[in-house]
């Protein structure tokens, strides 16, 4: 949700800001703006994509000590130039960009109106900016602390202050902020890709912390204003991973990176054919005490949970429930001390997931996060973190992080089963050797991309589609359906195959496309029956199954075959054709594949 970038001490402040914003556009793209400070503050904002802002800035090269920039995903106030950040205080003493939501902005605004402040935008941010301005008779750090104590909600604030040239002040609560240092220059950002071309050395800010960032120097403070020491981290992502290279879209690049991202993930956790979670501090002692499992996540991460629930139930014979993090937060079911709570999040910053994690922790559950972004809030707050080694994911619709999440969770399920003695050594070794072959099998599926591109033509003018499957296959349908909706805007519904006849079958008419995912032998026949029911009502059936499965030929008009693997590993393979399908349908319809309308990659508000 919204992206922040800033720099102190660069020769080309404006260039760094615009470049950083382009790299952050996946976080929000309804408006953008920059503020640079040299003697006075100059703000340039525009509605729409960063391209519009770039045009407006033109050749303007303002020599500046420091600057801040923002790309917005609207929460309070419609997307417009006036609501775009940065926002300036009424007395023109404070200028800031903000990610998050100021929940009590109305109360703050009323308080400030009484003091004579005037407001020009509909944003909650303007209230925070003026509140800091109000306290500015104190030194900036104290003024920001006073404002933080009064503000309720979440914020990453990057602030420039009158007469404090060459300084950016930061304040953070529940929204990410990092500070990067390179010799005489300092960079700030909400996400790593924004500053990756300039530095790989960063500090991660924690909640209720502040920072004063100067040229090549940063000081951190706690909410009492006391200085704090923080550890400098080295980022392992390379800049090439965050660049488009030879591909037309990041989504396609990321789909093709899956053999490598899964291989890297497997290399991290399989040592000499044995699963090794030592890097996350997870051992036999911890897993042997687990008697139930809960999986929490949002969007695609939740869909990983639906798949993995089936894997854990089958391998470990333990009760598992998968819940949307946003629902768990407000539910009344309590976690127990013998419960393993697996929290899944690519960004590690999704607000609902972060709060769900905190709740599960406070209830005494053992928490393990499966996260892609090193140093993110969820990664730091979970007791144990298993990183997916997917590298930076830029396209809004997740692909490589999703399959890396399934891979890590599969390994966790297999290890849990080994520790709980619910599988024998033979089954364990078989699964390890099969999972190691998954990257090559994905490459094989990717070689068949032309067939899927051809198939995508059938979807060009489609209004709606259905995807059905049972158990794990249903989990994959949920994700395939979401991909199609997200980037092609075709309404698609995923159904457990047996449920379609309980109502939704009334939507089936001549030419309706129904995709059936059928990888689990013991239930394939059941799904075939359900496909036959819709085929006889005119549906066009696409089946996804493993090579050599002749059972489904009569029921399907078109079949996509997957290389054979161990039955529980099919979800990693069956996701790939559905990702490619969604991609080609979106391209065929001329849509913005990487930045679909209304979406943001990382949702840091409730």
- Tell how strand 201-204 and strand 178-182 pair up: antiparallel
| 69-128 positions binding ligand G6P, by CB under 6 A | none
Residue where the block lists tokens 């100021």: 102
Task: Return the H-helix or E-strand segment holding 540.
Answer: strand 540-546
What mask of x and - would describe binding to ligand G6P in positions 335 to 364, judged by CB under 6 A?
----------xxx--x--x-----------
- DSSP three-state, residue 160: strand
Q: Are 567 and 473 in contact (CB under 8 A)?
A: no
Query: What minimum distance in Å lies between the beta carbon of 373 and ligand G6P?
Result: 8
Q: If binding is defined by CB under 6 A, does position 261 make contact with ligand G6P?
A: no
Tell me which of 518, 601, 604, 605 binds ligand G6P, using CB under 6 A: 601
56-64, 333-341, 392-400, 515-523 -> range binding ligand G6P (CB under 6 A)? 392-400
- Residue 238: CA atoms inside 13 Å, Cβ hemisphere, count? 4
Q: Are 593 and 395 in contact (CB under 8 A)?
A: yes
Between 87 and 303, CB nearer to ligand G6P: 303
In order of 278, 410, 598, the CA distances from 429 in angstroms are 19, 14, 45
406's CB contacts (< 8 A; 6+ apart) are 304, 307, 308, 571, 572, 575
Query: What minimum distance in Å lies between the beta carbon of 478 and ligand G6P?
Result: 11
Query: What minimum distance in Å lies between the beta carbon of 206 and ligand G6P?
Result: 19
Active-site residue, selected from the candidate residues 2, 95, 316, 556: 2
Residue 419 phi, psi dihedral angles, 5° rounding: -65, -35
What mask of x and - would describe binding to ligand G6P in positions 226 to 245, judged by CB under 6 A?
--------------------
Tell me which of 298, 368, 435, 572 binds ligand G6P, using CB under 6 A: 298
Query: What minimum distance in Å lies between the beta carbon of 20 and ligand G6P?
Result: 20
Query: What minimum distance in Å lies between the beta carbon of 401 and ligand G6P?
Result: 7
134-142, 297-305, 421-429, 552-560 -> range binding ligand G6P (CB under 6 A)? 297-305
Q: Are 351 and 604 in contact (CB under 8 A)?
A: yes
Tokens of 159: 């602030």
d(CA 285, CA 278): 12
Query: What minimum distance in Å lies between the beta carbon of 325 and ligand G6P?
Result: 8
Residue 321 phi, psi dihedral angles, 5° rounding: -130, 140
Active-site residue, selected from the candidate residues 93, 366, 400, 601: 601
Tell me which of 159, 196, 280, 301 binds ligand G6P, using CB under 6 A: 301
Tell me which of 396, 497, 534, 587 binds ligand G6P, using CB under 6 A: 396
Residue where the block lists tokens 């049972």: 470
Between 190 and 527, CB nearer to ligand G6P: 190
| 561-600 positions binding ligand G6P, by CB under 6 A | 599
CA torsion angle 23 25 27 28 (round to 10): 170
d(CA 534, CA 597): 32
Between 278 and 598, CB nearer to ligand G6P: 598
State yes or no: is 45 an active-site residue. Answer: no
In order of 227, 439, 519, 574, the CA distances from 547 in angstroms are 62, 17, 10, 12
Query: What minimum distance in Å lies between the beta carbon of 192 and ligand G6P?
Result: 14
Q: If binding is defined by CB under 6 A, does position 400 make contact with ligand G6P?
A: no
Tell me which of 300, 322, 326, 545 binds ligand G6P, using CB under 6 A: 300
Between 574 and 602, CB nearer to ligand G6P: 602
Query: What minimum distance in Å lies between the beta carbon of 164 and ligand G6P?
Result: 35
| 423-452 positions binding ligand G6P, by CB under 6 A | none
Helix axes 13-24, 50-57, angle to 10 degrees: 170
- Residue 593: CA atoms inside 13 Å, Cβ hemisphere, count? 24
- DSSP three-state, residue 389: coil
**Number of C-beta neighbours around residue 504 at 10 A:** 14
Strands (E), 177-249: 178-182, 185-189, 201-204, 209-214, 217-221, 227-228, 233-234
Tell me which of 462, 476, 603, 605 binds ligand G6P, using CB under 6 A: 603
State yes or no: is 409 an active-site residue. Answer: no
Tell me which of 299, 391, 475, 496 binds ligand G6P, using CB under 6 A: 299
Between 71 and 345, CB nearer to ligand G6P: 345
- Angle CA(172)–CA(176)–CA(177) in degrees, nearest 5? 70
Q: If binding is defined by CB under 6 A, does position 398 make contact with ligand G6P?
A: yes
**Number of C-beta neighbours around residue 456 at 10 A:** 20
Residue where the block lists tokens 């009484």: 114
Query: What minimum distance in Å lies between the beta carbon of 603 and ligand G6P?
Result: 5
223-231, 296-304, 508-516, 574-582 -> range binding ligand G6P (CB under 6 A)? 296-304
209-217, 299-307, 507-515, 580-588 -> range binding ligand G6P (CB under 6 A)? 299-307
Using Cβ positions, the residue closest to ligand G6P within the complex turns out to be 299
159-167, 311-319, 391-399, 564-572 -> range binding ligand G6P (CB under 6 A)? 391-399
Total site size for ligand G6P, rule CB under 6 A: 16
Query: What minimum distance in Å lies between the beta carbon of 230 and ligand G6P?
Result: 24
Checking 42-49 for CB contacts under 8 A at 24+ apart, the result is 43/86, 43/88, 43/95, 45/81, 45/84, 45/85, 45/86, 46/81, 46/84, 47/79, 47/80, 47/81, 47/84, 48/79, 49/25, 49/595
Q: Would you please indicate which residues are annotated as catalytic (active-site) residues? A: 2, 601
Chain residues in the site for ligand G6P (CB under 6 A):
298-301, 345-347, 350, 353, 396-398, 599, 601-603
């Amino acid at each position: 949700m919204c992206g922040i970038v800033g720099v102190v001490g660069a020769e080309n402040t404006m260039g760094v800001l615009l470049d950083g914003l382009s790299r952050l556009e996946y976080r929000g793209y309804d408006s953008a703006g920059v503020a640079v400070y040299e003697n006075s503050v100059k703000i340039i904002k525009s509605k729409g994509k960063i391209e519009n802002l770039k045009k407006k800035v033109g050749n303007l090269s303002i020599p500046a000590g420091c600057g801040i920039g923002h790309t917005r995903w609207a929460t309070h106030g419609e997307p417009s130039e006036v609501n775009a950040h940065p926002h300036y205080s009424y007395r023109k003493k404070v200028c800031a960009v903000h990610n998050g939501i100021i929940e009590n902005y109305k109360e703050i605004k009323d308080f400030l109106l009484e003091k004579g402040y005037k407001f020009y935008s509909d944003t909650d941010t303007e209230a925070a900016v003026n509140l800091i301005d109000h306290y500015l008779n104190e030194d900036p750090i104290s003024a920001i602390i006073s404002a933080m104590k009064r503000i309720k909600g979440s914020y990453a604030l990057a602030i420039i202050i009158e007469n404090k040239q060459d300084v950016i002040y930061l304040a953070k609560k529940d929204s990410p902020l990092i500070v990067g240092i390179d010799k005489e220059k300092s960079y700030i950002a909400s996400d790593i890709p924004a500053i990756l071309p300039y530095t790989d050395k960063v500090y991660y800010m924690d909640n209720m912390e502040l920072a004063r960032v100067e040229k090549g120097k940063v000081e951190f403070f706690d909410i009492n204003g006391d200085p704090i020491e923080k550890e400098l981290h080295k980022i392992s992502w390379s800049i090439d991973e965050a660049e488009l290279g030879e591909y037309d879209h990041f989504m396609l690049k990321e789909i093709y990176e899956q053999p490598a991202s899964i291989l890297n993930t497997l290399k991290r956790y399989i040592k000499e054919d044995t699963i090794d979670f030592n890097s996350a501090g997870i051992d036999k002692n911890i897993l042997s005490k687990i008697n139930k499992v809960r999986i929490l996540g949002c969007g695609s991460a939740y869909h990983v949970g639906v798949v993995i629930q089936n894997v854990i139930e089958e391998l470990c014979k333990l009760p598992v429930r998968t819940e949307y993090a946003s629902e768990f937060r407000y539910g009344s079911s309590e976690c127990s001390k013998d419960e393993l709570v697996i929290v899944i999040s690519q960004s590690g910053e999704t607000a609902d997931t972060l709060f769900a994690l905190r709740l599960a922790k406070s209830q005494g559950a053992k928490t393990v996060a499966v996260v892609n972004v090193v140093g993110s809030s969820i990664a730091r707050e979970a007791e144990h973190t298993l990183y997916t080694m997917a590298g930076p994911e830029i396209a809004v619709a997740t692909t490589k992080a999703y399959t890396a999440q399934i891979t890590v969770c599969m390994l966790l399920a297999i290890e849990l089963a080994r520790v709980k003695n619910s599988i024998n050594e033979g089954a364990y070794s078989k699964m390890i050797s099969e999972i190691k072959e998954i990257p090559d099998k994905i490459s094989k599926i990717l070689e068949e991309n032309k067939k899927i591109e051809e198939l995508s033509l059938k979807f060009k003018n489609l209004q709606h589609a259905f995807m059905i499957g049972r158990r794990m296959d249903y989990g994959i349908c949920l994700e395939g359906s979401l991909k199609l909706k997200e980037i092609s805007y075709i309404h698609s519904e995923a159904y457990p195959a047996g449920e379609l006849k309980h109502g939704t079958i009334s939507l089936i008419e001549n030419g309706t496309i129904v995709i059936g995912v059928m990888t689990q032998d013991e239930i394939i026949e059941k799904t075939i029956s359900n496909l036959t029911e819709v085929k006889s009502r005119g549906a066009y059936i696409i089946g996804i199954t493993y090579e050599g499965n002749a059972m489904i030929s009569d029921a399907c008009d078109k079949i996509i075959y997957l290389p054979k693997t161990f039955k529980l590993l099919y979800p990693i393979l069956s996701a790939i054709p559905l990702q490619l399908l969604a991609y080609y349908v979106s391209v065929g319809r001329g849509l913005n594949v990487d930045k679909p309308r209304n979406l943001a990659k990382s949702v840091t508000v409730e």
